[in-house]
Amino acid sequence: MSVLVNKDSKIIVQGFTGSEGTFHAGQMIEYGTNVVGGVTPGKGGQTHLDKPVFNTVEEAVKATGANVSIIFVPPAFAADAIMEAADAGIKVIITITEGIPVSDMIKANAYLKNRDCRMVGPNCPGVITPEEAKVGIMPGFVFKKGKVGIVSKSGTLTYEAADQVVRQGLGITTAIGIGGDPIIGTTTKEAVELLINDDETEAVVMIGEIGGQLEADAAKWYMESGSKKPIVGFIAGETAPAGRTMGHAGAIVGGSDDTAQAKKKIMRECGIHVVDSPAEIGKRVAEVLG
């Protein structure tokens, strides 16, 4: 068993017939992911990429038994798409869309609170369990099956870390790109917790960045959990000027606690093996698993 998605997941694509949805759904299907259909309002009854198209998520769930959705809906309508997926009983909602208004995400997040589902993203590369399911936009060929979990705010650094771990002969259980927006569904702590509690995962790579408290919260949870599984950590944005948005909308340093230096200090104090360059991730993982 892996976390969030595996070979048994039944996946639908919201925004299926648009250019992004078409391209990435095609890549997911080619990878071997169990895509069972898609949703584009007004196009129900058609076939796209040899899969059925539905007008609503509810119809798609009834017809296919889908339990995972990936969202490529434009920013203005994405929050509605998230809430629609939750209403229809989808358990894992992976939101790729970038540029969703923060006020919309606050509403969507509040809406999901009392429902039995988990959202990953938005503005994220998705989730991949190598050789089973790629639910996102990551380059599948980089990921090989193994025993290291990855949690990352950055898409590019997710692929970089995976490539390094694979080159060390270790491979990946599941990689979770949580996204870099100010309001996200699954936090660093929640994603780390999923992997620490996963039997197949023997070590975790945690990639964060300047701004916010997510990495500090995850580090404190890890220390309190008493887990013996090692975590290798990296924080991006060490050279970013204070008060400037760098890369992600959530990467704004507000005070002395959310600089790269402060986060790395907290992580080290909590027992995480911190590296100063992303180029050291793979090597350090191999050392701690020794």
- Write down how long the chain is: 290
Q: Scanning the structure block, which residue is given the tokens 């009983």?
A: 89
Q: How far apart are CA 237 and CA 205, in angstroms?
A: 17
Asked if 205 and 161 count as a contact pair (C-beta separation under 8 A), the reply is yes
Centre a 10 Å sphere on the Cβ of residue 118 and count the other Cβ atoms it contains: 19
Measured in degrees and rounded to the nearest 5, phi and psi for residue 23 equal: -60, -50
187/178 Cα distance (integer angstroms): 7
Reported as type and span, the H/E element at residue 163 is helix 155-167
CB of 87 closer than 8 Å to CB of 80: no
Among 24, 48, 248, 273, the active-site one is 248
Q: For residue 216, give every residue at least 6 positions away whose Cβ sits within 8 Å of its Cβ, in sequence order, or none.
A: 257, 263, 266, 267
Integer Cα distance of 80 and 101 in angstroms: 12
Respond yes or no: is residue 248 known to be catalytic.
yes
Find tokens 């793979």 and name the residue.
282
**130 CB-contact burial (10 Å; exposed 0-12 / middle 13-18 / buried 19+):** buried
Q: Cα–Cα–Cα angle for 116, 207, 80, nearest 5°? A: 35
Question: What residues are annotated to the active site?
Answer: 248
